[in-house]
Structure 1
Amino acid sequence: GVLAGGEHRRSAAIRSAIHEALQQGVIARDDSVTPGVVRGGVALVGGGPGDPELVTVRGRRLLAHADVVVADRLAPQELLAELSPDVEVIDAAKIPYGRSMAQDAINSVLVDRAKEGKFVVRLKGGDPFVFARGYEEIIACAEAGIPVTVVPGVTSAIGVPALAGVPVTHRAMTHEFVVVSGHVAPEHPESLVNWDALAAMRGTIVLLMAVERIELFARVLREGGRPADTPVLVVQQGTTSAERTLRATLADAPERIRAEGIRPPAIIVIGAVAAFGA
């Protein structure tokens, strides 16, 4: 109950603010009444595309109770700044063509800290199951007998274009969208993508991790039948203060991306919807 000297509107507003702060983890509550907080367990939390306000309420609440946070490079850094000084923060960054913490090492850290009786939050960018190796970490924990709570996140594949004014689907225009990893080239023996099928579809293609190889992807899509004038939207560091956008076509996107100095992380949207918001 909140008393405000008979000012009922004010007391209601304060009560709502306290409730919201408890939900977000801004005000601490007893771990025993916080679902998902398990000493000796792991919470796999999707941090969203970059803006700290786009993490889920549950994700933020669990993060506030963490003893250890194992964070990706693309996890919202502002959320880490809110942590108590006694929280151990482990950098699990995987920087393209740079320093990288091996996945086996990440798995070992999660298991080892949990076995010490700590509550471990694995904070990932976007959604933990969208090209983020989240299920590999669940398997590692399961094999070690460590309980895991999964908290989905807003994937950049949908959230970043949306906030740039582009929906990945639109009635009477596109009935499908595909999210594709660009970490390997189309001709690479490890590629699992049917690029001819992608080129033949009429819907939206969202490319992640594709900036380094955009020339190859644009070429194979055009060779497969995608028109050269297909609209393209590129968003670098979407939802953050450093966001940059570039609008192009499939024909000139590679040249424009190089000329503008676009670097990862960036989302590339290909399809009719990419013309929206221009």
Structure 2
Amino acid sequence: MTGAHVLTSEGGARATRTARRLRVPPARPRSAGFLLLEALATMAIGAIILVAVGSLLGLMSRQADRTAERTERLDVAGHALAALARDIGSIARARWAGPGRRNFVFAGLPDRMLFSLDRTDADRTSQSLAILLQGIETKDGSTVLRAEAPLSPIDRDEAALDFAPTHTIYAGTASVRFAYVMAPGAGGPELVVDAWPAGETLPIAVRVAFADPASGEILSSLRVPLRIEAEPGCAAPRKAFCSRIDPRSPEGQAEPGAQPGSMAATGGR
């Protein structure tokens, strides 16, 4: 019994040792490393997407701001353009005093215009005015100023005018530009010039434009035709001045060499 027990114990111990040697340790999960890499990759992709979305939103916000700014500039320029068009479209055919043929009260540069208007007061009293429009460049853009002065029959030139304090028609980032349309010749196109000196003719229209001073892009522009035909004196040439009639000629006879509808005959119309 004792020997058998010993053999049995030795055999059991040996079997236990063999079983221990043969026992396979539990396998480590291979997917753990891959899960960590996937998580890191997902976070990186998510960060990239967030950065891209943030950049896109920033771009859209800046674009919206630029659009709103441009819309505001166009609105301000449009109101100023309408105010300028009301004055320019009502230009009167007043002339400076002086012997011989007299020049019209009109002169224009790209940033400056001088012309005349007829105004009727509340008591129906008619008054002639000289209007001065002046564009001035500023550090933020430009300003358009308007001044007026009484115009009398004895005024010979601009130096005789006493302009009242100016008021602002436009103040913004755009710059104003005037251009002057000449009457076309026979079958020819209209000519647009940057300056119109004082003289015996008037342009048929004035082009007013507001431009971006940095890029030169036209933000808003308008061609304003001059609604003028002839002086009231043409209804009775012997009693008042009429540029269509030569004083040395019989009443009703046009100036020598002037053709109907020409600038010489109509004073610019």
When the two structures are superposed, what TM-score results if normalisation uses the length of structure 1?
0.24
Larger gyration radius, structure 1 or structure 2: 2
**Higher strand residue share:** 2
